Chain A
Amino acid sequence: MKKQNPPASNSFTRRTFLKNTGLAAAFTIVPRFVVGGKGFLAPSDTLYVAGIGAGGKGESDIANFAKSGKAQISYLCDVDDRRAATSIKNFPNAKYYKDYRVMLDKEQNHIDAVSVSTPDHNHAVQAMAAMQLGKHVYVQKPLTHDIYEARMLTEAARKYKVVTQMGNQGSSGDGVRQLQEWYTAGQIGDVHTVYVWTNRPVWPQGIPWPSQKAEVPKELDWDLWLGTAPYKDYVEKLVPFNWRGWWDYGTGALGDMACHLVEPPFKVLGLGYPLDVECSVGSVYIDEFKRGYFPESCPPSSHIIMTFPERQGKSKVKLHWMDGGIQPERPEELGPNERMGDGGNGVIFIGTKGKMMCSTYGASPSLLPTSKNKEVTIPQTIKRVPGSADGHYAQWVEACLAGYGKMEVSSPFDLAGPLTESILIGNLAIRSYDLRKPRVGGRPDQFDYPGRFIKLLWDGPNMKITNFDEANAFVKRDYRNGWKV
């Protein structure tokens, strides 16, 4: 734990300040001019943030909160000192911990809000621990690893009345608001089909688990990194990034990109829980007629199709997700040489009266044919977020300062929870696709795949697949002993 600067015991945080003023009873927030002169940042104007996960995305998240000018990064936590190095340098006054549980336990009175930027499998326990202490939370996408966890966090956010934001920054962008205005103005009519695609995974998937045991780097607390996941020996190349492609920790291409790409249709069309899901998955052959079976690894490519229910006079929506390089058919309105989406990623909305398209984060919104963009002018009716997608961080900081229920954020768990659940149903379908049973009366190498080539029916409120019970194993995984959400 290298570096520990305990804050002076008389440090005056916003939380203790508010508590005291609360007792004094007059204002909830003391206006900053009462307390100080020009250039003085009143405690009530400062959000004291603790970052769980300080490297990679954690590093940039923390830096972005600080950039708002209203957040102080007070605590950092990472299970890997190597990953935390830059953040420690950026925030020399922040106290550094390795175990978020120790940090929350010791520093709970000095923390207003917590940012969670860890591998997917630890999001839920970390965010839940923070919320239970009444801390506002900013959680990287996907919100959670499992459907059940997303439901629990969504409910907890309401229960504990904390300000929440998922880290899909595109939801604060102008693009999705432009799409919403076109749709609301009836430019494309009633939408019945949406195609979403990504070039992810851009790392190997559909591969065997590396069998070679490696030595745990001295800077890494492997047991803490594993967290809720089943115990396994440390292997090379899993940290810091490739955990994304292994089901024990990551959520594959969907987890990486769907929160950015599915958010526009989810928000614009007001989708909720899907009714059903089907998928097909790119196969891996290791030899002639010998199919690889790597159920620990996310697939090299997948095509998932979900049906969303009718909403207030709007028809059902078929949402297609395609990853691993495969893409939807080009709309006929798109010229042969025009780029679809941003090339590797994109979204196409197909309505009864027209089509629209965007790229990742809802960026580059466009009506189709693209010539329509010049012809159509719809008045701006939806307020933009200052700074657009980059303003996602400051928006949350501001909302935390304003207090629960006082200010809108772009991706509160009330939206991000159901969005994440939908995305994770895609993973449930993929994993059901790989379930196998020895073929009755068959050779030892013959299997049946009962979850393959069927449509799975989803009971959203009860979080249950109703026509293939084995699939329900993927709604909620078992944690390692000692962990719970």
Chain B
Amino acid sequence: MPRKKVNIPSSESVSRRSFLKNAGVAAAAFAIVPRFVLGGKGFVAPSDTLYIAGIGAGGKGEDDLAEMAKSSHVKIVAFCDVDDRQAVKSRKNFKDANYYRDFRVMLDKESHVDACTVSTPDHTHAVAAMAAIVRGKHVYVQKPLTHDIYEARMLTEAARKFKVVTQMGNQGGSGSDVRTLKEWYDAGLLGDVYRVTCWTNRPVWPQGVPTPTGKFDIPKDLDWDLWLGTSKLIDYNPAYLPFNWRGWWNFGTGALGDMACHIMDPVFRVLPIDYPSEVECSVSTVWSGFFQESSYDDSCPVSSIVHFKYPGKNGKPDIQLSWMDGGLRPQRPQELLPDEPMGNEDGGVIFEGTKGKMMADCYGAKPRLLPTRLMKEVTLPPQKLPRVPEGHYIQWVNACLKGYGNAVTSSPFDYAGPFTESILMGNLAIRSYSIRKKDDFPGRKKLLWDAKNMKITNFDEANAFVKRDYRIGWNL
């Protein structure tokens, strides 16, 4: 239900969607009426305006809405949040927008919107995005695209089926630097890449900790049941909101979910890879006492190392992709001088090829060849790939305005879906690693992945992590 402030749009208000519909029916000639036909200087025609509804209005949601609104072609007409405290700033920023708590109610009532942003905790991404997509809304979904592998596959297919413009919120994917990395690779500076290593300093919040306990009153501003959404019903605990849900498997996706969409993005953008064929991991152990291994299975791990193998494509060698988090970092490339920094504080990526190596910071930023002196010695290839000067958000806005298939975005689900699946394979490995049977850990081995069928073929228990069960009443 709309809450507190309800501005039902006046019935004569002409949204872009209804305008286009009518224009289509009445005239059949143009897909879009040129804006000069309708109005004078300073008038933005409805066909030039993207009506956006935001799902999740605090934190990253707040930023996302504010970024979209920077376009003069965007109108934030509605948004929702399950926690009024989180929505305060967005409500101040967009006084005319209708505010809801339940995205399902909002989507029903605000059927005229063109597009939705989804900036909620990870466990709600898929159902919220899917609800928008099946209504034909373009979607911008925060990273990681989904919580589970299966959900990522479903969203990717739905985006194609419903022909909506999609973008995952890994904004570094629109950066210039990642395009530079691709130009270097395409120019053959690295030869064939056979190994890539990525790392992050995340988690920068406690993980590997016991499940929070205790009874707490649900804050009056929060709809806890809606916040839980697809998750099984558990008691409210302040430990989860608004940020630390990231470290709990019920809701979040750990360090990989937080950062891999940024740090691994150059890998997937530069190299010819899609789904992994194998994954293995190791995870740092938490000891609660002398020889007492803790099993805090609800909590994501303190630190982990994951290795993925991608079969070579088009005659290229297999690619080994390694991921490290929680403070662990890869071996320094021998080309790096003892006092030269490796990546930056957030993390980094190193590509190793048959002819050379390159390194970048988080988001693929600051690309450099290794050894770094090559940056002066080598003639770098000319800029060849188009840049995205308008940025990740506006790129999506403009693509939505042009309509499905008429413009590219940097992280459409065709790209972001398989990419997210890979990241979530890491989590599947981590969770399999913790499966305990008496004193044995049967999941501590190399897991073989049948990507087409989304199935681990040599350890069936792992498949529980491909698709979780939703609470009754929720489905994709």
B303 close to A329 (CB less than 8 A): no
Which residues of chain B come closer than 8 Å to A280, judged between CB atoms? 324, 327-329
Cβ B328 vs Cβ A282 within 8 A: yes
Give the residues in chain A near B278, CB-CB below 8 Å.
336
- Does chain B have a CB within 8 A of A301? yes
How far does the Cβ of A300 sit from chain B's closest Cβ, in whole Å?
A: 6
Task: Give the B interface residue count (CB, 8 A).
Answer: 47
> Is the CB of B285 closer than 8 A to any CB of chain A?
yes
Q: Decide if B289 touches A203 in the complex (CB within 8 Å).
A: yes
Q: Which residues of A contact B263 (CB under 8 A)?
A: none
Residues from chain B with a CB closer than 8 A to the CB of A260 are: none
Say yes or no: A326-B205 contact (C-beta < 8 A), given A280-B327, A283-B326, A288-B244.
Answer: no
Of A163-171, A208-216, A380-388, A449-457, the one touching chain B: A449-457
Kindly state whether residue B7 has any CB partner on chain A within 8 Å. Answer: no
Contacts of A324 in B (CB 8 A): 284-285
| Contact call B326/A202, Cβ cutoff below 8 A | no
B328 touches A285 (CB 8 A): no
Closest to A337 in B: B445
Residues of the A chain whose Cβ atoms lie less than 8 Å from the Cβ of B283: 325-326
B148 close to chain A: CB less than 8 A: no
Contact with A along B270-308 (1 / 0, CB 8 A): 000000001010111111111101000000001111010
A264-287 CB mask vs B (1 if < 8 Å, else 0) is 000000000000101011111111
A: interface residue count bin: 35 or more
Q: Which of B14-22, B174-182, B336-344 contacts A (4 or more CB under 8 A)?
A: B336-344
Residues of A near B458 (CB, < 8 A) are 336-337
Please state if A278 and B445 are interface contacts (CB–CB under 8 Å): no
Query: Cα distance A145–B278 when bound, in Å?
Result: 42
User: Closest A-chain residue to B244, C-beta based?
Assistant: A288
> Is A303 part of the contact surface with B, judged by Cβ < 8 Å?
yes
CA distance A408 to B307 in the complex (A): 44
| Chain B residues, Cβ within 8 Å of A337 | 445-446, 458
A20 to B421, CA, bound (A): 81
Closest residue of A by beta carbon distance from B201: A283
Cα A288 to Cα B203 in complex, Å, equals 9
Q: Which of B203, B288, B328, B446 contacts A303, CB < 8 Å?
A: B328
Q: Tell me if A320 counts as interface (CB < 8 A to partner B).
A: yes
Check A40 for interface membership: any CB of B closer than 8 A: no
Q: Does A443 contact B (CB under 8 A)?
A: no
Q: Are B289 and A204 in contact (CB under 8 A)?
A: yes
**Most chain B Cβ neighbours within 10 Å, of A276, A318, A338, A453:** A453
Min Cβ gap B76→A in Å is 28
B206 touching A325, Cβ below 8 Å: no
B201, B203, B287, B336, most chain A CB atoms within 10 A = B287
A202-B291, A336-B447, A453-B329 known; A285-B205 Cβ under 8 A: yes
- List the B side residues contacting A453 at CB < 8 Å: 329, 341-342
Q: Which of A360-395 contact B (CB under 8 A)?
A: none
| Distance, CA A334 to CA B206, complexed state (A) | 34
Of A199, A205, A322, A336, which one neighbours B445 at CB under 8 angstroms? A336
In this assembly, does A92 line the interface, its C-beta being within 8 Å of a C-beta of chain B?
no
Query: What residues on A are CB-neighbors of B336 within 8 Å?
Result: 455
Chain A 306-335: CB-based contact to B (< 8 A → 1; otherwise 0): 000000000000101010111101100010
Q: Check B431 for interface membership: any CB of A closer than 8 A.
A: no
Whether a CB of chain A sits under 8 angstroms from the CB of B243 is yes
| Least CB distance, A458 to chain B, in whole angstroms | 11
Q: How far is the CA of A286 from the CA of B208 in the complex (A)?
A: 11
A336 to nearest B CB, angstroms? 4
The complex places the Cα of A343 from the Cα of B448 at a distance, in Å, of 19
In the assembled complex, the Cα of A318 lies from the Cα of B288 at a distance in Å of 33
Q: How far is the CA of A247 from the CA of B293 in the complex (A)?
A: 22
- In the complex, what residue of chain B is closest to A240 when comparing beta carbons? B290
A305 touches which of B290, B331, B441 (Cβ 8 Å): B331
Chain A residues whose CB sits within 8 angstroms of the CB of B203 once the complex forms = 285
Residues of chain B with a CB closer than 8 A to A300's CB: 284-286, 302-303
Q: Is the interface of A mostly helix, strand, loop or mixed?
A: loop
Interface residues of B in 441-476 (CB under 8 A from A): 441, 444-448, 458
- The answer to whether A336 and B448 touch across the interface, beta carbons within 8 angstroms, is yes
**Of B204, B291, B445, which is within 8 A of A289 by CB?**
B204
Residues of A within 8 A of B329 (CB): 280, 303, 453
Residue on A with the closest CB to B344? A453
B205: chain A residues within 8 A (beta carbon): 285, 287-289
User: A467 an interface residue at 8 Å Cβ cutoff?
Assistant: yes
Query: Which of B288, B327, B342, B448 is most buried by chain A, counting CB atoms within 10 A of its CB?
Result: B327
Is B207 at the interface (CB under 8 A from chain A)?
yes
Nearest chain A CB to B177 CB, angstrom units? 20
Write the nearest CB–CB distance from A345 to chain B, whole angstroms. Answer: 12
- Given A202-B293, A326-B305, are A467 and B201 also a contact pair (CB < 8 Å)? no
> Is A291 on the interface with B (CB-CB < 8 A)?
yes
Contact B280 A278 (CB under 8 A): no
What chain A residues lie within 8 Å of B243 (beta carbons)?
Answer: 288
Is B332 an interface residue, CB under 8 A from the partner? yes
Say yes or no for B322: interface residue by CB 8 A criterion: yes
Min distance, Cβ B14 to any Cβ of chain A, angstroms: 45
Q: Nearest chain B CB to A227's CB is how many angstroms away? A: 22
Instruction: Verify if A201 is at the interface (C-beta below 8 Å from B).
Output: yes
Question: Is A241 engaged at the interface, CB distance under 8 Å to the other chain?
Answer: yes
Identify which of residues 354-371 in chain B touch chain A, using a CB-to-CB cut-off of 8 Å.
Answer: none
Inter-chain contact A330/B302, CB cutoff 8 Å: no
- Point out the residue from A291, A343, A457 that lies within 8 Å of B204, measured CB to CB: A291
Chain A residue with the shortest CB-CB distance to B433: A325
A456 surroundings in chain B (CB, below 8 A): 338
In the complex, what's the smallest C-beta–C-beta distance from B62 to chain A, in angstroms? 17
**Max chain B CB contacts within 10 Å: which of A205, A285, A339, A467?**
A285
- Contact with B303, one of A242, A320, A326 (Cβ below 8 angstroms): A326
**Given known contacts A289-B204, A326-B304, what 14 new A-B pairs fall within 8 Å (CB)?**
A201-B287, A202-B285, A204-B288, A280-B324, A282-B328, A283-B201, A285-B204, A301-B284, A325-B284, A325-B285, A326-B303, A329-B307, A343-B441, A467-B339
Sorted nearest first, the 3 A-B pairs with minimum C-beta distance are A283-B327, A325-B285, A327-B282
Instruction: List 17 interface pairs A-B (beta carbons < 8 Å), by A numbering.
Output: A202-B293, A204-B288, A278-B331, A280-B327, A280-B328, A281-B327, A283-B303, A288-B205, A300-B302, A318-B331, A326-B305, A326-B328, A329-B320, A336-B448, A339-B445, A453-B329, A453-B342
Q: Which residues of A contact B (CB under 8 A)?
A: 199, 201-205, 241-242, 276, 278, 280-289, 291, 300-301, 303, 305, 318, 320, 322, 324-327, 329-330, 334, 336-339, 343, 453-457, 467
